[in-house]
């Protein structure tokens, strides 16, 4: 009796999946996007959908997670990484369309505080509390934060006081929730903050946060290349520049 | 780095289990004898972490721990440091998170206890604490062990909550599950295999021990 009911439920589920999957596979473009770029890509994708009468599905996670998913056969057409390292590795793995690796934006690091006292590089030197950064081993913004602190000879002094987010989103969340009062985050995350709470880190303090995109080999979606050109177009690049990134061109 | 994470995980699980046994035993006993209409509500509160996504708990704890909010403020004024990103914070989170795994087996076992024995002892003049120590605890040994093991194992495996409030500080909040996450994200699969394999072996060994204790108990 019970097993019969179970079988009916399972059949129903199987039917549902087969019914739904063709819709999901229609003229859709599947993007794998580093979490920091999600808000920007959401807006650009809307624009693209209107221009090309198609649907853009955005999956966002950390670049490491997306790299793992792609290596294991995840069905994406285009990968927008937060770094250049993962795309390069995918190229070595022979998983990308040859020659498709290209930067689409450069990230910018800012010092961000929720308190009203004015910020300068001196703040970093004199600050005694905990500092939120992204994990340098996982996130390019974390690596940039480490390079900045090393350049200022502060890295040693901050050991044990660094609160590391798994990604730059979490780092932002640590500061915005009030648990840490100072953090090194992405400029794109704090565009709406009062300027007195922000200090842009000089760009020669860290290696460029070069965010690269790649077309994935397993994709048969012709829209992928069109989306890439759209992203690198002057209009899109201007939009990207207005949202806390340095444009790629 | 790995050994620090192993040690930290053990320390966290042991501390949590100790606190949970000390608080869980009276709580489970209270619940098992409770007649109030509030009982289902309290039982639901205790059981909540069983169904609640750990990230939900982590999110609320992150807010509660913030110096902008009363609990975090209170902690800051007493200890001079914040509760988030500290070992103490992880202990608080783990106690909440693993509570049902300790209280529920205890409560079930207390309810099945032969209460005639307790009444007899009461008539012979044994006081309440005395009755509890000499009758209840010795007769529920297996449940006590089971509860402790479940609380311990569950704390070892905790991930979502620690990720939300831990801040990944080596030696302070970087437990094994977080180290595993790190290793996979950075494609260090050799390290990932070591940690994941170790945790798998630990869980398997623990369950085998628990089930063999269960078997012996049933045969008795």
Chain B residue numbers with beta carbons less than 8 Å from the beta carbon of A158 are none
Distance between first and last Cα of chain A: 66
* Predicted pLDDT at A194: 86
Rounded Cα distance between B25 and B136, Å, is 11
B54-67: pLDDT as tens digits: 999 999 999 999 98
- What's the rounded Cα separation, in Å, for the pair B101 and A16? 36
Lowest-pLDDT range of A221-235, B112-126, B145-159, B185-199? B112-126
pTM of the prediction?
0.81
Distance between start and end Cα atoms, chain B: 46
Q: What is the pLDDT along chain A (249 residues), one digit of tens a residue?
A: 556 776 776 666 666 666 555 444 457 899 999 988 999 999 999 999 999 999 999 998 888 889 999 998 899 999 999 999 999 999 999 999 999 999 999 999 999 998 888 899 999 999 999 999 999 988 899 999 999 999 999 999 999 899 999 888 899 999 999 999 999 999 999 998 888 899 999 999 999 999 999 999 999 899 999 999 999 999 999 999 999 999 997
B85 → closest Cβ in A64, A130, A166: A130
Q: What is the ipTM of this complex?
A: 0.74
Which residue from B66, B182, B187 is facing A177, i.e. has the nearest CB?
Answer: B66
Contacts of A65 in chain B (CB under 8 A): 185
Nearest Cα residue in chain B from A133: B167
Query: Any idea which residue has 């780095």 for tokens?
Result: B1
Q: What is the DSSP string of B34-79?
A: --STTHHHHHHHHHHHHHS-HHHHHHHHHHHHSTTSHHHHHHHHHH
Domains (range + CATH), chain A: 2-106+211-247 (3.40.190.10), 109-200 (3.40.190.10)
Average pLDDT over residues B102-112: 94
**CA gap B183, B191 in Å, rounded:** 6
> Does the beta-carbon distance from A173 to B84 stay under 8 Å?
no
Provide the shortest C-alpha distance from residue A53 to chain B (in Å): 35
**A130 lies within 8 A of chain B by CB:** yes
Reduce the DSSP state of residue B8 to 3 states and report it. Answer: helix
User: A–B: how many Cβ contacts below 8 A?
Assistant: 62
Residue B172 predicted with pLDDT over 80: yes
What per-residue confidence (pLDDT) applies to A13? 66
Q: Do A164 and B169 touch (CB under 8 A)?
A: yes
Residues within 8 A of B (CB atoms), A 197-236 only: none
Cβ-Cβ contacts under 8 Å, B186 against chain A: 64, 137-138
Long-range contacts of A87-94 (CB under 8 A, 24+ apart): A87/A212, A87/A213, A87/A214, A88/A212, A89/B187, A90/A214, A90/A216, A91/A214, A94/A217
**H helices within A53-92, ranges in order?**
63-71, 85-92
Q: Does residue A242 belong to the interface with chain B, where contact is any CB pair within 8 Å?
A: no
Out of B1-5, B189-193, B200-204, least confident range:
B1-5
pLDDT given at position A24: 47
């Amino acid at each position: 009796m019970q097993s019969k009911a179970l079988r009916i439920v399972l059949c129903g589920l199987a039917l549902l999946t087969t019914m739904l999957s063709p819709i999901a596979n229609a003229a859709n473009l599947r993007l794998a996007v580093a979490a920091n770029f999600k808000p920007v890509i959401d807006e650009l994708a809307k624009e693209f959908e209107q221009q090309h009468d198609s649907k853009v599905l955005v999956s966002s996670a950390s670049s490491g997670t997306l790299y793992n998913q792609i290596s294991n056969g995840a069905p994406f057409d285009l990968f927008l990484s937060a770094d250049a390292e993962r795309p390069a590795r995918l190229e070595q793995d022979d998983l990308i369309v040859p020659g498709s690796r290209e930067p689409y934006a450069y990230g910018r690091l800012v010092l961000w505080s929720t308190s009203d006292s004015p910020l300068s590089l001196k703040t970093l030197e004199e600050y005694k509390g905990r500092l939120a950064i992204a994990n340098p081993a996982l996130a390019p913004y974390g690596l940039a934060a480490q390079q900045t602190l090393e350049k200022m000879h502060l890295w040693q002094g901050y050991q044990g006081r660094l609160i590391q987010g798994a990604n730059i989103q979490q780092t932002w969340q640590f500061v915005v929730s009030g648990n840490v009062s100072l953090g090194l985050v992405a400029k794109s995350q704090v565009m709406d903050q009062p300027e007195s709470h922000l200090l842009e880190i000089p760009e020669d303090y860290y290696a460029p946060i070069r965010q690269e995109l790649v077309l994935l080999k397993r994709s048969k979606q012709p829209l992928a290349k069109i989306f890439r050109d759209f992203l690198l177009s002057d209009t899109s690049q201007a939009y990207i520049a207005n949202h806390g990134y340095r444009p790629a061109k | 780095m790995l050994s620090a994470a192993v040690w930290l995980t053990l320390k966290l699980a042991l501390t949590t289990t100790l606190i949970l046994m000390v608080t869980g035993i009276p709580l489970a006993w209270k619940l098992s004898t409770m007649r109030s209409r509030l009982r289902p509500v309290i039982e639901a509160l205790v059981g909540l972490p069983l169904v609640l996504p750990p990230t939900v708990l982590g999110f609320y704890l992150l807010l509660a721990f913030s110096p902008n909010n009363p609990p975090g403020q209170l902690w800051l004024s007493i200890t001079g440091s914040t509760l988030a990103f500290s070992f103490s914070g992880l202990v608080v989170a783990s106690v909440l998170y693993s509570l049902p795994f300790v209280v529920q087996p205890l409560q079930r076992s207390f309810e099945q206890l032969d209460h005639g024995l307790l009444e007899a002892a009461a008539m012979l003049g044994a006081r309440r604490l005395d009755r509890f120590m000499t009758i209840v605890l010795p007769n529920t040994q297996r449940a006590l062990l089971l509860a402790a093991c479940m609380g311990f194992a569950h704390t070892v495996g905790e991930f979502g909550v620690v990720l939300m409030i831990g801040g990944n500080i080596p030696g302070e909040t970087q437990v094994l599950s977080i180290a595993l996450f790190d290793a996979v994200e950075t494609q260090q699969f050799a390290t990932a295999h070591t940690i994941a394999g170790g945790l798998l072996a630990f869980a398997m060994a623990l369950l085998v021990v628990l089930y063999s204790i269960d078997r012996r108990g049933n045969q008795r």
